[in-house]
C-alpha cells in the first residue's frame, strides 16, 4: 500500500510538471482591479511585507502550499522548498504525510524540509479520506511531530479521489477534523486542493471552531484532470467536462470564506500565478497568497535558484503594488479601493453577498475586529 502511495506521488509530480493540468475555467481574478494611486506619498523603503499569520510572523504574505514527500526522489524537492521558504521567510507545506505514517522508512523525505527550514512556518499535511477511514488525533500528532510543524493542513480532495482509479470513496470526517483541531496544540488549516472552499462549508467549520482556511479554488491545478491523465484502464469512468469546470473559482472562494469566517486566517490560492494575482487575492480578503504548481515547475526547471528568482519576483511585484495603492503593509490592500465586475460580482451576489458592503467592510473584518 505505501509503495503504491509513494509511486503515485511520483506520477503526480511528473504529470503536474509536464502536462497541461490546469482547468479551462479561470480564477475570476480577472474581474478584479486594484485602483492605482498615482500620488502614493510612500517610498519603497517604507513598505514592509511582514505579515502575522496563525501566530507567526512571515517575511512576506506568501505560502508554498503542500505538495510532496513519500518517495525517495521527492526528498530533494522538499529540501529545496524548505531552503527557499527559510531564505524568504515565507510559509511552506509538505504534501500528504500518509506515506510517512505508513512507512517510517520514508519519513526523512518530509523531515528534510524542516531541516532546511529551521525557523520557517512549516505546515504538516493529512487528507480527509484518511481521516474518514481510520486516522485520528494519533496520526495527526505523528504528522506534526515528524516535521516539528507549526500547523497541520487537512486537505479536502473529494473530486480527486472520485476520479482517481484507485481512490477512496469515504468522506465523512467532520467530527475527526474537530477532534484534531481541539486537541492538537497547533492550528489546523482546512484546505481544498483546487476545487475551492464554499461559504456553507466554511461557515459550518468556523462555527465549530476552525480558524484557518486555504481556499485553493478553481482556476489552477485541477486534480480531477491530473487523475484523468493517470488513469489507463478501460473501465475507468472519465470526468469529461468536470476536469476543466468543476469547482468554486478562487476569487469567489476568497470572498465566500472571508464573509463566512470574518476573523479567520485565510490563504488565497488556486491558480495564483503572478504577483498581481497574489495582490488581488489579498485585496479580496485573504491574509496571504498561496501557490503550488508554478513553484514546483521552477524547482524542476532550475532548482533552488530558479524557485528563488521566481518567488523573489512575485514578492517584489506585491511590494510595488502595495506602494502603488498608497499602502505600507499587506493589510493595507484590504483598504485599497478595488473594483469588481461581471461574472464575479454577479455570482457573489447570487451567493448572498452584498458586494458593495463586502468591499467596504467585509474584507477588512479582521482589521475591524469583527468576531462573530
Ligand atoms: C504536485 C502537487 C502535489 C500536491 N499534493 C498535495 C497534497 O499532498 N496535499 C495537499 O493538501 N495539497 C496538494 N496539492 C495541492 C496544492 O497544495 C494546491 O492546493 C493546488 O495545487 C492549487 O494550487 P495551484 O493552482 O497553485 O497549483 C498538490 C499540488 C501539486 C501541484
Q: Calculate how far, in angstroms, residue 38's C-alpha sits from the geometric centre of ligand 1.
A: 37
- Report the alpha-carbon distance of residue 100 to residue 140 in Å, rounded: 12
- Report the alpha-carbon distance of residue 207 to residue 104 in Å, rounded: 36
Task: Report the nearest-CA residue for atom 4 of ligand 1.
Answer: 67
- Report the alpha-carbon distance of residue 210 to residue 213 in Å, rounded: 8
Q: Calculate how far, in angstroms, residue 66's C-alpha sits from the geometric centre of ligand 1.
A: 6
What total number of domains does the chain contain? 1
Mutation probe of ligand 1 site: the residue of 67, 97, 155, 277 with most atoms within 8 A of C-beta: 67
Q: Calculate how far, in angstroms, residue 40's C-alpha sits from the geometric centre of ligand 1.
A: 37
Mutation probe of ligand 1 site: the residue of 23, 221, 268 with most atoms within 8 A of C-beta: 221
Q: Calculate how far, in angstroms, residue 223's C-alpha sits from the geometric centre of ligand 1.
A: 8
What is the predicted pLDDT for the residue at 4?
Answer: 76
Mutation probe of ligand 1 site: the residue of 18, 21, 193 with most atoms within 8 A of C-beta: 193
Task: Give the CA-trace dihedral at 372, 339, 352, 365, to 10 degrees.
Answer: 0
Task: Report the nearest-CA residue for atom 15 of ligand 1.
Answer: 193
Q: Calculate how far, in angstroms, residue 134's C-alpha sits from the geometric centre of ligand 1.
A: 23
State which ligand 1 atom lies nearest to the alpha carbon of 291: 26
What is the predicted pLDDT for the residue at 231?
Answer: 86
Q: Calculate how far, in angstroms, residue 292's C-alpha sits from the geometric centre of ligand 1.
A: 6
Q: Residue 300: give the domain boundaries.
A: 2-368
The DSSP string of 51-120 is EEETTEEESSSEEE-----SSGGGHHHHHHHHHHHHHHT-EEE----HHHHH-GGGTHHHHHHHHH-SSS
β-strand pairing of 32-34 with 338-340: antiparallel
Task: Report the nearest-CA residue for atom 11 of ligand 1.
Answer: 155
- Report the alpha-carbon distance of residue 294 to residue 272 in Å, rounded: 9
What is the predicted pLDDT for the residue at 210?
Answer: 98
pLDDT in tens, the chain (372 residues): 467 777 788 889 999 999 999 999 999 999 999 999 999 999 999 999 999 999 999 999 999 999 999 999 999 999 999 999 999 999 999 999 999 999 999 999 999 999 999 999 999 999 999 999 999 999 999 999 999 999 999 999 999 999 999 999 999 999 999 999 999 999 999 999 999 999 999 999 999 999 999 999 999 999 999 999 998 888 999 999 999 999 999 999 999 999 999 999 999 999 999 999 999 999 999 999 999 999 999 999 999 999 999 999 999 999 999 999 999 999 999 999 999 999 999 999 999 999 999 999 999 998 888 765
Cβ < 6 Å from ligand 1: which residues? 12-13, 16, 65-68, 95-96, 125, 153, 155, 191, 193-194, 216, 220-221, 269-272, 291-293, 296
Give residues with Cβ within 8 angstroms of 264, minimum separation 6.
202, 206, 210, 211, 212, 213, 257, 258, 366
Task: Report the nearest-CA residue for atom 18 of ligand 1.
Answer: 193
Mutation probe of ligand 1 site: the residue of 101, 124, 293, 300 with most atoms within 8 A of C-beta: 293
Q: Calculate how far, in angstroms, residue 121's C-alpha sits from the geometric centre of ligand 1.
A: 17
pTM of the model: 0.98
What is the predicted pLDDT for the residue at 371?
Answer: 65
What is the predicted pLDDT for the residue at 2?
Answer: 62
What is the predicted pLDDT for the residue at 266?
Answer: 98
Q: Calculate how far, in angstroms, residue 214's C-alpha sits from the geometric centre of ligand 1.
A: 11
Q: Calculate how far, in angstroms, residue 351's C-alpha sits from the geometric centre of ligand 1.
A: 26
Domain with residue 360: its CATH number is: 3.20.20.70
Q: Which cell goes with 180?
A: 484534531
Q: Calculate how far, in angstroms, residue 320's C-alpha sits from the geometric centre of ligand 1.
A: 28
Amino acid at each position: 500500500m505505501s509503495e503504491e502511495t509513494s509511486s503515485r506521488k511520483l506520477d503526480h509530480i511528473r504529470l503536474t510538471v509536464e502536462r497541461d493540468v490546469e482547468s479551462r475555467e479561470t480564477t475570476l481574478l480577472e474581474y478584479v482591479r486594484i485602483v492605482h494611486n498615482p500620488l502614493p506619498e510612500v517610498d519603497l523603503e517604507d513598505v514592509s511585507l511582514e505579515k502575522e499569520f496563525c501566530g507567526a510572523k512571515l517575511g512576506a504574505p506568501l505560502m508554498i502550499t503542500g505538495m510532496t514527500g513519500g518517495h525517495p526522489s521527492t526528498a530533494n524537492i522538499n529540501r529545496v522548498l524548505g531552503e527557499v521558504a527559510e531564505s524568504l521567510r515565507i510559509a511552506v507545506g509538505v504534501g500528504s504525510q500518509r506515506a510517512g505514517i505508513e512507512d517510517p522508512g520514508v519519513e526523512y523525505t518530509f523531515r528534510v524540509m524542516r531541516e532546511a527550514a529551521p525557523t520557517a512556518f512549516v505546515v504538516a499535511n493529512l487528507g480527509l479520506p484518511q481521516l474518514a477511514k481510520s486516522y485520528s488525533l494519533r496520526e495527526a500528532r505523528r504528522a506534526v511531530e515528524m516535521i516539528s510543524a507549526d500547523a497541520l493542513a487537512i486537505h479536502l480532495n473529494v473530486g480527486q479521489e472520485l476520479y482517481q482509479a484507485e481512490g477512496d470513496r469515504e468522506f465523512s470526517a467532520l467530527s475527526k477534523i474537530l477532534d484534531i483541531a481541539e486537541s492538537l496544540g497547533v492550528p489546523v488549516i482546512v484546505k481544498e486542493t483546487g476545487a475551492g472552499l464554499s461559504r456553507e462549508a466554511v461557515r459550518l467549520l468556523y462555527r465549530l471552531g476552525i480558524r484557518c482556511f486555504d481556499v485553493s479554488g478553481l482556476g489552477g491545478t485541477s486534480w480531477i484532470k491530473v487523475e484523468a491523465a493517470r488513469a489507463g484502464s478501460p473501465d475507468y469512468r472519465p470526468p469529461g467536462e468536470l476536469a476543466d469546470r468543476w469547482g468554486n473559482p478562487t476569487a469567489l472562494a476568497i470572498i465566500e470564506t472571508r464573509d463566512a469566517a470574518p476573523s479567520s486566517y485565510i490563504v488565497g490560492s488556486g491558480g495564483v500565478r503572478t504577483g498581481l494575482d497574489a495582490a488581488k487575492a489579498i485585496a479580496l480578503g485573504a491574509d496571504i497568497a498561496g501557490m503550488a504548481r508554478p513553484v514546483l515547475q521552477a524547482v524542476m526547471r532550475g532548482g533552488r535558484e530558479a524557485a528563488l528568482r521566481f518567488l523573489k519576483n512575485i514578492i517584489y511585484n506585491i511590494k510595488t503594488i502595495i506602494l502603488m495603492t498608497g499602502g505600507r503593509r499587506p493589510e493595507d490592500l484590504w483598504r485599497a479601493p478595488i473594483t469588481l465586475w461581471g461574472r464575479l460580482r454577479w455570482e457573489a451576489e447570487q451567493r448572498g453577498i452584498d458586494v458593495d458592503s463586502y468591499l467596504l467592510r467585509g474584507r477588512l473584518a479582521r482589521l475591524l475586529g469583527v468576531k462573530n
